[in-house]
Amino acid sequence: MITLELAIRFSSPSSIGGKRQLLRTLLMALSLSAIFTLISLLFQLQEERIDLVKSTTSFPVVATTDEIGKVEDLYPGVPLFNYKEESVLLSGIPFSVRYIDEDYKGIFDLIGGNADALVLPLYRRGAVGDGEVSMLSLSGRRIVGEKVEVSGYYVSPNRSFDQMYAFLPYESAPEYLDTKVAFQNDVDVRLLDAAGISYETWKEKENVLYSALLLEAFLMIFVLLFLFMVVFLSLRKGVRDFLYDKRRERLSLSVMGLPKWKINLSFSLPILFYDVCSMILSVIFSLFLVKGAYPFIGLYGEGRISWGFVFSFMLFFIILRILDIVFLLHRMPGEVYCNE
């Protein structure tokens, strides 16, 4: 009990450094809020980019099999749909053509016309042409080109998808093309492995993009962590001064017979108290910054904090501070517990 009473006493601004400690608390809170804001925005933007890819180009899991009923039995109630795909030349321009039906769940909007024949991206209309266009398969199974009627145009939220894909009715797909069964959500692929069904996840198909996103996140975290360490070390002097300035009080408590670990704890808790205050303030600042900055990024939606990262970083911060306090206490035992 006396340890807590001493900790509360030494936690007062006048005892721990007054305005300087409050300034250090504010600076640490601003430093942490900058890290939390930038990382939260980065993770949210990456998540939206991944969701965009998974809803247009590469679905979460795509199995390649003609035994559609077998896949449905393995995943009862899981939303899935079928399509076929091949690479072609449309008017000499390379495209991936997807043969789809009304159950296709990929996201795109039909702009004029219908999906009875070839549906082209609206952005490539001028390059490919109107009316009828020539289509030449690049699979090697269909050598002679053919004329295909253009029945409509589409747009999707993924501009890179619009540059590469066109659509045709499912019933017009060549028999030699494999049927692809796409899942709308991530599923346990071990069931497909056990059944001997080949599949491809979005990470495998988009391995270049996925690697780039991981590298982007790693570099951002590394840079921000480095900047945080610079701020942490620059403000470390205040902690060291506090422990050094209170050496007389430490000696007095030691003479009174208080155990060394209780003395150390009494002077460590005030430092940790202000660190907790810094973290609470940083979360409050981050909430306002994320919600305020998100509309200016050019995307819709509402900004949100990456709580997993925030709590992990807070734990790292507290552990780092505890280790630093232990190190400082260990470096000056004579000055603290012996007569001057």
CB atoms within 10 A of CB 132: 14
pLDDT at 17: 55
d(CA 84, CA 67): 14
d(CA 138, CA 87): 5
Query: pLDDT of 164-189, one tens digit each?
Result: 999 999 998 888 888 999 999 889 99
User: What sections of the chain are H helices per DSSP?
Assistant: 2-10, 13-16, 19-56, 68-74, 125-128, 159-162, 190-195, 202-205, 207-245, 247-255, 260-293, 307-331, 333-337
**pLDDT greater than 50 at residue 266:** yes
d(CA 23, CA 98): 61
Note the Cα 302 to chain centre separation in Å. Answer: 15
Cβ proximity of 290 and 304 under 8 Å: yes
d(CA 143, CA 64): 24
Query: pLDDT of 188-243, one tens digit each?
Result: 999 999 999 999 999 999 999 889 999 999 999 999 989 888 888 887 877 777 77
pLDDT at 199: 93
**Stretch 75-98: mean pLDDT, rounded?**
90
Rounded (5°) CA angle 45-50-53: 130
Query: pLDDT of 243-259, one tens digit each?
Result: 776 667 666 666 666 77
